[in-house]
Amino acid sequence: MVLVFGHFTVSSAQGFVPIFNEYLAENLYMVHPAMVGVNLKNARINLGSRQQWFNVPDAPGTNLLTLEYKATKNAILGLQLIKDHNGYHSKNSNYLTFGYRIYLSDAIWNTRRSFPTKNDNKKELSFGINIGSINYSIDQSSFDARIPDPLLNANSSGKRYFTIDAGAAYVSTHLSAQVSVKNINMNSTQGDAADGDAYINPLKFKHYLASLQYEIYFNNGWNLEPSFLVQFLEKTEESSLDLNLKLYRLVKKGRIWLGASFRQNFIKIDTPSEYTIPNQNYTHFTPVFGMNYDRYLFSYHYTSNLGTLNLGTSGLHYFSLGITLF
């Protein structure tokens, strides 16, 4: 599938879930609310964990859970729980999703198999909306109480925002496309004024995403999926392009896949230095491995940078497990 941009400095401020490559594990619902319940008969759950710098205490990491339930023929409900931690700081993001699917052909997904084959004839138009809350907090429990600081507040420092995302998607056996807008309405639940912070203006953090995938099927059980995603961050006027390719092989009771993704950000990142480094844009490369077997899905990704702005010597590791419940 596609790869979305993960920004390091402003993503937490804008309330955007810190996604790197999670939905390459066949979970585009992490990116587009309209993709909730795609290729779903009843219900499924996906668990994921991203880790960085294994040899560093309190290193950045993310744990996530998505739950999808097909309530009726057309209506799908979803839940996303994401915990992002970095040292003393953490962010908990919780989203409820409602999706509505319109079938443009007679084919309705009625199998526990979570992926299409060349024999399917699906054409669907879907719409989705996320309603969520994002809570930022700092753990002060280990701070030295003998050093008074008026900014510390009995281990309860934090900020909570209410946010809305929306999108639409077209999914068929061969061609699929999605568009989404995140942070359409982002307000502090503490009642702060929108312009109360010179840096964090909740009205200026919309995130626009558009993606496309095309499935090429062969007669010997292989299929190829090129895809891309473009996006734009309103606050920083930052855009990015993601180019991806996945190769699938059908096996007994499932399939296996290998893939790769390349990300390029179109913004210069300032670094404190006495020397000027022109055109210093962030890029990274991610190889992907995964498999579907019966009701289960497993995937592993490794992300490494391609430039001088790096993620650390050990890169990023992501593990994912999915289960079709019934």
pLDDT, mean of residues 79-103: 90
Q: State the greatest distance between any 2 C-alpha atoms of the chain, in Å, as a whole number.
A: 72
Q: Is the pLDDT of residue 1 over 70?
A: no
The pLDDT score that the predictor gives to residue 237 is: 81
The pLDDT score that the predictor gives to residue 196 is: 45
- pLDDT 10s digits, 48-81: 998 877 777 777 888 999 999 999 999 999 999 9
Sorted by sequence, the CB contacts under 8 Å of residue 233 that are 6+ apart come out as 5, 7, 10, 14, 205, 207, 239
Q: Is the pLDDT of residue 225 over 90?
A: yes
The pLDDT score that the predictor gives to residue 5 is: 33
The pLDDT score that the predictor gives to residue 15 is: 45
Q: Is the pLDDT of residue 155 over 60?
A: no
3-state secondary structure of 202: helix
3-state secondary structure of 223: strand
Q: Is the pLDDT of residue 310 over 80?
A: no
The pLDDT score that the predictor gives to residue 174 is: 94
Lowest mean pLDDT, pick from 152-161, 169-178, 194-203, 251-260:
194-203
Query: Percent of the chain scored above 70 by pLDDT?
Result: 76
| Whether 142 contacts 107, CB under 8 Å | no
The pLDDT score that the predictor gives to residue 125 is: 97
Q: Is the pLDDT of residue 2 over 80?
A: no
Ranges of H-type helices in the chain: 11-14
Rounded CA-CA distance 74/76 in Å is 7
| Whether 123 contacts 104, CB under 8 Å | yes
Q: Which residues pair with 293 in a beta bridge?
A: 254, 296
Residue 270's pLDDT band (boundaries 50, 70, 90)? low
CA nearest neighbour of 232 among 265, 198, 203, 208: 208
Tokens of 222: 């292989």
Residue-range domain boundaries for the chain: 11-140+158-268+277-324
Query: Percent of the chain scored above 90 by pLDDT?
Result: 46
pLDDT, mean of residues 269-275: 59
Q: Kindly report the average pLDDT of the chain as a whole number.
A: 82
3-state secondary structure of 7: coil
Lowest mean pLDDT, pick from 25-34, 143-152, 176-185:
143-152
Residue 185's pLDDT band (boundaries 50, 70, 90)? confident
Rounded CA-CA distance 193/201 in Å is 9
pLDDT, mean of residues 117-145: 84
Name which residue leads in pLDDT, 103 or 306.
103
- Residue range 11-140+158-268+277-324 forms a domain whose CATH class is mainly beta
Rounded CA-CA distance 33/86 in Å is 26
The DSSP symbol for 56 reads S
Q: Is the pLDDT of residue 173 over 80?
A: yes
The pLDDT score that the predictor gives to residue 136 is: 81
Name which residue leads in pLDDT, 190 or 184.
184
- The angle subtended at Cα 272 by Cα 267 and Cα 275, nearest 5°, is 90
Q: Is the pLDDT of residue 212 over 60?
A: yes
The pLDDT score that the predictor gives to residue 65 is: 95
Residue 84's pLDDT band (boundaries 50, 70, 90)? confident
